Amino acid sequence: MQTEAWKETVSEQETMECCFLLERSSSHNFIEHHGLLEGKKGRQHSEDTATEDIALMETSDILFPSPIVGSHSHMMEQSNVRHRQLPLMTHLIFGSRLLIGLVILFSAGTIYFASSVEAAGVDLGVTAQKAWDSVLNKADAQTKLTLKQAYEKVGNWKTQEQAWEQKIKTLHAANTAELERLRVEIRQIDDAKVAALAEKVKQTQARYEPLFALYSSVNRQLDAAKAIKNKEWSAAIRTQAETLRPVVKLAREDIRIKKKELAEARKRKTTEVKRLRAMLAGADSAKKQIQTAKKQASLAKERYSNALQQFKQNTKQGQTSRVLSSLSTLASAAEKWAGSKQNIHTLEQKVSTTYVKVRQEIAKRFK
């Protein structure tokens, strides 16, 4: 029995150590796969791994002492304790390692994102990049710093241009969609009221239709009685006609009032639609300015492309003074390009502001 308990203890210790070593190996492979450990860091990591492994083994010896000494009951008690401690230790070890792995993954992603953003500025291409690196390597420390600062300035303006372009696309798409919605809502303004009044006129006319038919019939009979010169019949029909006349008059007045209400509602609808469409047209001036601004942006882009081409040629020639001068020209062109895009975005915001005001006017009608 002691031998079996001892085998069980050894098996559990080996399981603990193997799980720990496998998990550490996975973490180490992950780090090396992403290029985050090199040279001295790799050796330091290996030494730290060995130190922690020894510490874990010593901790295991303390938690799970050798089963050779002690009574059978004492061995069984230790076995039960180990059964309870094993899941807890495993959870703590794997939980902490998983947290470290996630932190490393997040850090690697942040580093990659930062490098991507930094590289999103000037696009030189392989050949021009090599020439630029050669210029930097040949320059003295102060000149190299000046060149880098000028180059970063160009990259910053280019990055801003790209950011403004994305904002313009997003806002323009939103404005286009909102314009379509506003046009539909303006066209449908008071449609429900007008439809209800038109239906009321139709129902009123239908309700009085029998009365009008009876009144017309009585009048025809009166004309017939007059034609045959039948005084008694004429008197009877005339009395009936005179009785119906005020009722018919009231019915016609009721229909006239209903039709008037319908006409006024249609007139109000036409006036309101015209007013709101005039408000929408207030964005036309900004839209025309946007078209002009786009032409200016195209010219600025062309100037930037020409300046970039000149910069690449100067880097191939390797003359530092010309490279620095072309960088200054390139930065100025990039700044104007970014400024033109910012101007377009500002004009798109004016369009959006106009649409917001129209939306507010429409909303007031439902209060």
Whole-angstrom Cα distance, residue 121 to residue 104?
27
- What is the average per-residue pLDDT within 109-127? 51
Tens digit of each residue's pLDDT (9 = 90 or more) over 280-293: 999 999 999 999 99
pLDDT at 315: 85
% pLDDT > 90, the chain? 47
First and final C-alpha spacing in the chain = 87
**Spatial contact of 131 and 312, defined as CB atoms under 8 Å apart:** yes
pLDDT above 80 for 142: yes
Amino acid at 320: T
Taken in order of first residue, the domains within the chain and their CATH numbers are: 2-118 (no CATH), 154-364 (1.20.1270)
- Per-residue model confidence as pLDDT tens digits over 19-44: 343 344 434 343 333 333 333 334 34
pLDDT score at 266: 96
How do residues 146-189 score in pLDDT, each as one tens digit?
989 999 999 999 999 999 999 999 999 999 999 999 999 999 99
Residues 6 or more apart from 34 whose CB is under 8 A from it?
104, 108
Neighbours of 92 (CB within 10 A): 10
- Return the pLDDT at 367: 64
Q: What is residue 123's predicted lDDT score, i.e. its pLDDT? A: 75
Cβ(182)–Cβ(359) below 8 Å? yes
Other beta carbons within 10 angstroms of residue 56's beta carbon come to 17
Q: Which residues, at least 6 apart from 179, have a Cβ–Cβ distance to it below 8 Å?
A: 280, 355
Please report the pLDDT score of residue 70 as a whole number: 38
State the burial class of residue 73 (Cβ atoms within 10 Å of its Cβ: 0-12, 13-18, 19+). Answer: exposed
pLDDT, position 121: 56
